[in-house]
């Protein structure tokens, strides 16, 4: 028995096997390190290097997810190679893993759909925490974004958990400037020049008083002739979610100026478009 272990052929084969095992471990570690570095460079590039826009929090989330998936793949491949080096048949193991994966995939289709949808929501930066969005019949402020679901709090304070896979259409009200639009009904017997002057005065006052106004307000002019009055329109560009407050301020200022000047007004003074 001792002669078998000291046999040069056995020792040489064992040394080769140990070297191959060591090479597999070192190779797996190197591939893992290089791949993590490449993924980090892709999602979190060095300062000054341009890439697609990603919020830092989202970029780091995607980086961690991708790195974990890749790590498990490398671990699995290395484990299979190590078992083969130990003369263990891995065919049944791979087949079993495929069957288990298929069963899990069939049984968790909705979960997988949620994760894939969540991945692309984060990747494409469709909305962020704090954004006001509308999804089908739900509207509210995003409180949290996960790979499986999105937490949305509505105006009544109710927190909704929406599976990402169920989100088919999103309207984001927080990206870019919004437009405040106010329509002013004016009686035909009113002095049009006086009305326009008062509207311009109201626009200047609201624009100077409200930091929420990005541009304007300004008088567009007459947009419609109706049976009892004519409709003048005022527009302003505002920061996101502040268009309602600006419209309210414009109406209040216009009503105050009209009353002070004695401008003839129809029964319904201000109608929102």
pLDDT tens for the chain, 273 residues long, are 455 455 666 667 777 778 888 888 888 888 888 888 887 777 766 655 545 555 666 666 677 667 777 888 888 888 888 877 777 766 666 666 665 665 555 556 777 788 788 878 877 778 877 888 888 888 888 888 877 788 889 888 889 898 888 888 888 888 778 888 999 898 888 888 999 999 999 999 998 888 888 887 999 888 888 888 889 999 998 888 888 889 999 999 999 999 888 887 766 544 444
Q: Is there a domain that residue 208 lies in?
A: yes
CATH number where 148 lies: 2.30.30.60
> Which domain range does residue 194 map to?
178-261
Find all residues with CB under 8 Å of 29, minimum gap 6, and list them. none
- Rounded Cα–Cα distance for residues 273 and 253 (Å): 18
Q: Is residue 103 part of a domain?
A: no
The total number of structural domains that make up the chain:
3
Same domain for 81 and 24, yes or no, is yes
Tell whether 111 is covered by a domain: no
Q: For residue 119, with 0-12 CB atoms within 10 Å meaning exposed, 13-18 middle and 19 or more buried, which class applies?
A: middle
Cβ atoms of 27 and 33 closer than 8 Å: no
Pairing assessment for the beta strands 171-172 and 229-238 based on DSSP bridges: unpaired
**69 part of a folded domain:** yes
One domain for residues 149 and 204: no
Q: Is 196:186 a contact under the CB 8 Å cutoff?
A: no
CA-CA distances (angstroms) from residue 166 to 58, 99, 101, 146, 240? 21, 28, 23, 14, 26
Based on the domain organization, do 213 and 257 belong to the same domain?
A: yes
Question: In this structure, is residue 55 part of a structural domain?
Answer: yes
């Amino acid at each position: 028995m001792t002669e078998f272990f000291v046999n040069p052929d056995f020792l040489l084969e064992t040394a080769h096997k140990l070297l191959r095992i060591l090479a597999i471990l070192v190779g797996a570690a190197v591939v893992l390190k290089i791949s993590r570095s490449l993924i980090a460079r892709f999602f979190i590039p060095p300062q000054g290097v341009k890439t697609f826009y990603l919020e830092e929090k989202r970029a780091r989330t995607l980086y961690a997810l991708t790195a974990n998936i890749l790590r498990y793949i490398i671990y699995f491949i290395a484990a299979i190679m190590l078992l083969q080096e130990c003369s263990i048949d891995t065919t049944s193991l791979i087949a079993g893993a495929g069957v288990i994966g298929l069963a899990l995939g069939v049984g968790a289709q909705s979960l997988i759909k949620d994760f894939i949808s969540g991945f692309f929501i984060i990747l494409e930066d469709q909305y962020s925490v704090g954004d006001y969005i509308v999804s089908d019949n739900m509207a509210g402020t995003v409180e949290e974004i996960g790979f499986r679901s999105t937490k949305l709090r509505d105006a009544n304070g109710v927190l909704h958990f929406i599976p990402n896979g169920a989100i088919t259409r999103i309207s984001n009200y927080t990206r870019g400037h919004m437009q405040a639009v106010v329509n002013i009904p004016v009686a035909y017997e009113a002095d049009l020049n006086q009305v326009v002057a008062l509207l311009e005065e109201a626009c200047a006052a609201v624009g100077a008083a409200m930091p929420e106004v990005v541009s304007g307000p300004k008088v567009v002019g007459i947009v419609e002739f109706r049976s009892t009055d004519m409709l003048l329109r005022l527009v302003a560009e505002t920061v996101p979610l502040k268009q309602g407050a600006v419209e309210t301020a414009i109406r209040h200022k216009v009503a105050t100026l009209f009353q002070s000047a004695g401008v003839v007004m129809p029964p319904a003074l201000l109608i929102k478009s």
